[in-house]
Chains A and B, each alone.
Chain A
Amino acid sequence: MNAAAARIAFPPNWWARAGWLLLAAYIVYACSLLDFTWARFMVGLDNGARFIARMFPPNFSRWEILVKGLTESIEIAVLASALGILISLPIGLFAARNLMPVWVTWPARMLIALCRSFHPVIVAIVFVKAIGFGALSGIAALTVASIGFIGKLFAEAIEEISLKQVEAVRATGAPFMNVITYGVLPQVFGRFIGFATYQLDSNLRNSTMVGIVGAGGIGGALFAAFQRFDYDFVCAMLLSIIILIFAGELLATRVRAVFLERSRVNEE
């Protein structure tokens, strides 16, 4: 009787409560460390209102610069995706631990990790110094990013395949290249299309940004307009970039639908 009365349907979880308290303490500590104050925030809101007022209406009068930047961004994205996919195919294959010996997978995995750990914009800085200003550095930087992303996922996809088919192809006495093309690639093709379209999409987003460090595309014009306080032109550029990215996303979904069945499209 007493025990039944003492039972609580949802007993308080003291560990969780302590955790939330710690989180709150961290927020207060970090905010004070980074010097976030209410006064600063209010001043910012004031600035923000003026800023937005100057952004509208968007100014499309210098559309030549806009179109030139956007086309260069698209070119960078297309070429970087093509190059990146081409290079990441063998690297991903070398990094798959179920097909390759350890002394091959290790260097390949190191290379992929190195490519993945830097943001494309930072990689672009290095290439701008090495190759000079322009679209070529942007292509190189995004190629590196693509190798990191597709290489990793491609290797993981290959590691998950069924080895029965590989063995069957091997049993017929097929040479190594035929084992790859008939035993391995058909099993990962669907997922590969998924990564490739995703990477094209992601490259399109980043190709509008690498211009900030001088690697071509619309980013350079965007950054310059910001520094000249041409906020109405900035607004025009941002709107066009968003439209471009939407179009890219739609295109990627369409391409996926061509190659994969309906259910797989949703899954990817």
Chain B
Amino acid sequence: MTASATLDARTWRRFTPAQRIARFAVYLGIVVAIVVSFRAVEVIPEFLLDAPEQMADLFKRMWPVAFGYYPAGVHDALVETLHIATLGTIFAVIMAFPIGIMAARNITPSRPLNFVARLLLVSSRSVNSLVWALLFVAVFGPGALAGTLAIAFRSIGFIGKLVGEAIEEAHPGTLEALEAAGAPWFSLLTIGYWPQIQPAFWSVVLFRWDINVRESAVLGLVGAGGIGMALDTAMNLFQWDRVAMVLVAIFAVVIVAEIVVTQIRKRIL
């Protein structure tokens, strides 16, 4: 009797009290963060009031787009941007492979080496490509070399991490068979691991190349070559119709790159 009474009194709840408190804390944190940021952020009301006018003025200056400027000022820069993105991706792959191998726990059974590799990968990823570009411009001077290295160093973390994970997921059966046959270490890599990680590898590289095309378009703003330089020049001279031309070119290239990547993915993966 008493047992059934206590049973009736119990109501089903989806979350435990601890879970509910945690959720409430997150919601509270979000609200507090938004309110505090909203009150603290500096907004100049005069700027905000004439924003629609300024926007209209901007588009009026951008129209008509200076398509005639394309052969003289945009085409070469656009090709340079594509080369920076592609070459940067290739260099990144070359550097990321050893680090990825070093980070994989099954192929490198040494904890300190794993840790060093992971540290390298994380530091590559946590520095923005524009910061890498600033650093390399300071070292190598303005130009495409700085841009390519910036793209490469930024991509190492991404590619290396995913390659390392793909290696760790490789099926050990083939590898044991190769080891039993007395295959040397390098053959283990090329015949044991490589065919297994190949699909993941190509999809990672294609994905990164797509990102790199977008990123290399802005590197020129800090002097690291590519179409960003054309954008910067046009902006500094207030030639907004040329700015519009550059933006249209970037838009077109990004769309084409995305289509190329999706098509290749469909065909080979």
Contacts and interface: CB of A to CB of B under 8 A. Distances in A.
Interface of A: 10, 23, 26-27, 30-31, 33-36, 40-41, 44, 47-48, 51, 71-72, 74-76, 78-79, 82, 113, 117-119, 121-122, 125-126, 129-132, 134-136, 139, 205-206, 208-209, 212-213, 216, 222-223, 226, 231, 238, 241-242, 245-246, 255, 258-259
B265 interface: no
Contact of A258 (B22, B48, B84): B22
A135 B214 contact: no
Nearest to B148: A34
Interface of B: 19, 22-23, 26, 30, 33-34, 36-38, 40-44, 47-48, 51, 54-55, 58, 80, 83-84, 86-87, 90, 123, 126-128, 130-131, 134-135, 138-141, 143-145, 148, 191, 214-215, 217-218, 221-222, 225, 231, 235, 247, 250-251, 254-255
A209 B34 contact: no
A223 B222 contact: yes
Contacts of B36: 75
B145 A134 contact: no
A129 B51 CA distance: 9
Contact of A121 (B44, B83, B144, B218): B218
B87 A34 contact: yes
B58 A126 contact: yes
13 contacts: A47-B140, A47-B141, A72-B42, A75-B40, A122-B218, A122-B231, A134-B42, A135-B41, A139-B41, A208-B128, A226-B134, A241-B131, A258-B26
A109 to B, nearest CB: 13
Given A132-B54, A136-B47, A238-B127, 17 more contacts: A10-B191, A34-B84, A44-B145, A48-B139, A117-B214, A119-B217, A121-B130, A129-B54, A132-B47, A134-B43, A136-B43, A209-B128, A209-B130, A209-B131, A212-B222, A223-B134, A246-B126
B58 A40 contact: no
B13 to A, nearest CB: 17
Contact of A34 (B26, B145, B255): B145
A119 B215 contact: yes
Interface centre among B37, B80, B221 (most CB of A within 10 A): B37
B41 A76 contact: yes
Interface centre among A113, A121, A206 (most CB of B within 10 A): A121
A242 B126 contact: yes
A139 B48 CA distance: 13
B222 A78 contact: no
Contacts of A10: 191
Contacts, number: 145
B51 A125 contact: no
Contacts of A209: 128, 130-131
Contacts of B251: 117-118
A194 to B, nearest CB: 14
Contacts of B23: 258-259
A26 B91 CA distance: 12
A74 B37 contact: yes
Contacts of A36: 144-145, 148
Contacts of B222: 212, 223
Given A10-B191, A34-B148, A238-B131, A131 B255 contact: no
A40 to B, nearest CB: 7
Given A30-B87, A79-B38, A119 B218 contact: yes
Contact of B143 (A35, A136, A213): A35
A78 B128 contact: no
A71 B130 contact: no
Contact of B87 (A31, A72, A242): A31
Contact of A134 (B22, B40, B44): B44
Contact of A78 (B33, B51, B214): B33
A135 B134 CA distance: 22
A34 B83 contact: yes
A55 to B, nearest CB: 9
B41 A226 contact: no
Interface centre among B26, B58, B90, B128 (most CB of A within 10 A): B128
A10 B37 CA distance: 62
A212 B130 contact: yes
Closest 10 CB pairs of A and B: A132-B47, A75-B37, A44-B140, A34-B144, A48-B139, A130-B55, A78-B37, A117-B254, A258-B22, A75-B41
Given A47-B139, A121-B221, A130 B87 contact: no
A50 to B, nearest CB: 9
A82 B32 CA distance: 12
